[in-house]
Amino acid sequence: MSSPEPIDKSDQVPSQLDQPRSGDKHQRILDAAVQVIAEHGFFNARVSEIASRAGVADGTVYLYFKNKDHILREAIDTAFRNFFDRAKQEIQTVSSARMQLELLARLHLETLAAHRNLAIVMQTEVRQSARFIAEFSHQHLVDYLNLVREVIRLGQEQGLFREDISDRLVAHCMFGALDEMVSSWVFTGRPFDPDKIASAVMNLIFSGIETSRENA
């Protein structure tokens, strides 16, 4: 059930296999940026610190990124795309909507658990400033939610899920619950078992907390 491939524990933005640009400086800057932003927050992250931690000169950063904003944009973009591509692939491996949702939940938590700095950036900076990063990162979220909603509608078609609850609502609740579990981990630092927590959350989503349907 757990991710079959070895997860690297480094806090790097998962590298793209597609464009191995210029000696990997591109990637080194991205990694350094996630690190520094996780530590200080975007506005308090200094480009010069990102550069020095990436082992390049300040000016070099601007050969690879238009400006500071775009570093963060690209870090988020890359991470999202990697996650999303993998998510779409993995859910093909199972047919039941229920198992697909469980798989998504586990992948969601595992991905962030494996990259704590990235998780920090996601939980803090992505929300930040409605008018800045959010606008564009919002699209990723919409894509993700749409994927979940499709699975939920599939479950409804399969007769597994109630028809009287909107797929949009369920998708938001599921995402919100998972997201909050990550936030809690990020802010408290308390040990975090992504698979177990994914199961627990999905158990709640599937069955609710009431002792019996009749009580409702």
Partner DNA sequence: AATGAATGAGTGTTCATTCAT
Partner DNA sequence: AATGAATGAACACTCATTCAT
- The stretch among 13-21, 83-91, 107-115, 203-211 that binds a second copy (CB under 8 A) is 203-211
Q: Which of the choices DNA, a second copy, none does residue 108 contact, using the CB cut-off of 5 to 8 A by kind? A: none
Query: Which residues of the chain form contacts with DNA (CB under 7 A)?
Result: 22-23, 25, 44-48, 56-63, 67-69
C-alpha pair distances (Å), 121 with each of 112, 129, 158, 163:
10, 13, 37, 36
Shortest Å distance, C-beta 52 to DNA? 9
Asked if 38 and 122 touch (Cβ cutoff 8 Å), the reply is no
Residue 47 within binding range of a second copy, rule CB under 8 A: no
C-alpha pair distances (Å), 95 with each of 6, 62, 154, 155:
25, 46, 10, 10
Q: What residue type is 87 in one-letter code? A: A
Residue 210 within binding range of a second copy, rule CB under 8 A: yes
Rounded-to-integer distance, Cα 118 and Cα 135, Å: 19
Interface ranges with a second copy (CB under 8 A): 38-41, 43-44, 98, 120, 123-125, 127-132, 134, 138, 152, 155, 159-162, 165-166, 169-170, 172-173, 175-181, 183-184, 186-187, 197, 200-201, 203-213, 215-216
